[in-house]
Amino acid sequence: MESLKDRGTEGQIIITMALMISILLAGLSYVYSQNLLAGTETSITQLNFPKNEIRDLRRIAIEELTDYASEPSSFLDRAKELDRQITTLYALHGAYASIDVFDIKRSVVGGQESITSFMVRIVFSNTEVEYEETISVQLT
Amino acid sequence: MMTLEGVIAAVLILSVAYFLFQSTMIISPVSDEVVYVQMRQYGQDALTIINSQTGAEDTLQYALKRINSTYTPYELLNSLEKLLPDYTDFNLQVYYVNMTTNEIEVYNITNRIPTSTTVTASTYLVIRNGNSLMIPPSSSIQQALRVPMPMSPYCWR
């Protein structure tokens, strides 16, 4: 049996080593490019995800409507006007948003009308996210 | 005697390296994206802090109820400058639905020129009973506003 030192086999070792280095390079480059892609995807998702838009919508819906409920006579009108403005402003950036009030419960105590509870449906949708939530707001 | 094998090996490694560099070097502006995300987060946090009903002079609510051609909200702009990193330049705008024309209008609180590396944070709020461009004293109805803040870092100019 011939040893590796013999003529004719050292050349094969060089070629084999080159092949191994090539495979290693390809593997490393694959991992590297996957890493870059993951980073890009993550940042794009973070930039596009409308977390704050939805949070603002919820905050406005609950805070404002609770406040308007102190005047039962104009409550629905103001809620509708708020919905109209919010829808217009959100539409400016390619999203649909709406605040719908329904199931308003009123009570009359001593001739004075007041709202005791209402339901509000919050809808937000854009090309990536669809969000819908129905909240029951209890007053008093 | 190994010259031929050496040359073949070298050509193999070089061609693989060339092929890989050509295919992966396309995606390079990753560091930009990371900076964008971070800046937007800073901006969003800053806007969340100043978007409050406390009645302090540096809140959006206080400033936007009073803003007109004679009132400039220096306290608000000062607070934003302190909240944002030193290298950041920002603009502050207000979008609102004009009640009479029913169209969306823009008011620029600051007028800096945006650069190509601008990233925008924004917030929504509602104001009532004010004396400003968006909400005149006679208006009894609320006004919803969108406040975008385009930001760009100095060092990229």
Model confidence over B5-43: pLDDT tens digits? 889 999 999 998 888 877 755 555 566 777 888 889 999
Which comes out higher in pLDDT, residue A3 or A127? A127
Sorted by sequence, the CB contacts under 8 Å of residue A100 that are 6+ apart come out as A83, A120, A121, A122, A123
User: Is residue A103 a contact partner of residue A81, using CB atoms and an 8 Å limit?
Assistant: no
Q: What's the CA dihedral at B112, B113, B118, B120 to 10 degrees?
A: 40
Q: Give the one of A21, A43, A92 whose C-beta lies nearest to B37's C-beta.
A: A43
A-interface mutation test, from B97, B127, B139, most A Cβ less than 10 A away? B97
Q: Decide if the complex's ipTM is over 0.90.
A: no
Q: Does A44 touch chain B (CB under 8 A)?
A: yes
CA quadruple B130, B136, B137, B141: dihedral positive or negative? Answer: negative
Bridge partners, A108 (sequence order): A113
Min Cα–Cα distance to chain A from B81, Å: 21
Of A35-39, A62-66, B51-55, B126-130, which one has max mean pLDDT? A62-66
Q: Looking at the complex, does the CB of residue B106 fall below 8 Å from at least one CB of chain A?
A: no
* Paired strand residues for A115: A106
Q: How far apart are CA B79 and CA B149, in angstroms?
A: 14
pLDDT score of A1 more than 80: no
| Reported pTM | 0.79
| 3-state class (DSSP) for residue A126 | coil
